Amino acid sequence: TAGITQAPTSQILAAGRSMTLRCTQDMRHNAMYWYRQDLGLGLRLIHYSNTAGTTGKGEVPDGYSVSRANTDDFPLTLASAVPSQTSVYFCASSDQSSYNEQFFGPGTRLTVL
């Protein structure tokens, strides 16, 4: 079972450019999440989705947007990247009927220059 896949694995992006980070899960989980992980700050929630068609803002949503057209996919878009968005991005999913433990993808390392 693949679980959660993320693409790309890593990316170098020029400031001002846009980019979409992809996340796909095959566990049929209803909830999905995007986090960024920065040294000394831990994992911080960017956006989440409780079910297909709905999204919500997390702790650090500015500069990011998400969509949830179906159960499996939850892309994260940076419309105009800035250097402070350099980070490692993790996608996660959970089945809210199963005690909410989250399963994480392998991450995308993004560098904005």
Partner 1 sequence: EDQVTQSPEALRLQEGESSSLNCSYTVSGLRGLFWYRQDPGKGPEFLFTLYSAGEEKEKERLKATLTKKESFLHITAPKPEDSATYLCAVQGWSGNQFYFGTGTSLTVIP
Interface residue list for partner 1 (CB under 8 A): 4, 31, 33, 35, 40-45, 48, 50, 56, 58-59, 90, 92, 99-107
Nearer to partner 1, 16 or 106 (CB): 106
Residue with tokens 């089945």: 95
The answer to whether the beta carbons of residues 14 and 65 sit under 8 Å apart is: no
Nearer to partner 1, 62 or 101 (CB): 101
In angstroms, what is the minimal distance from the CB of 42 to partner 1?
Answer: 4
The answer to whether the beta carbons of residues 64 and 58 sit under 8 Å apart is: no
In angstroms, what is the minimal distance from the CB of 43 to partner 1?
Answer: 4
**C-alpha pair distances (Å), 109 with each of 38, 53, 99, 101:** 11, 27, 29, 24
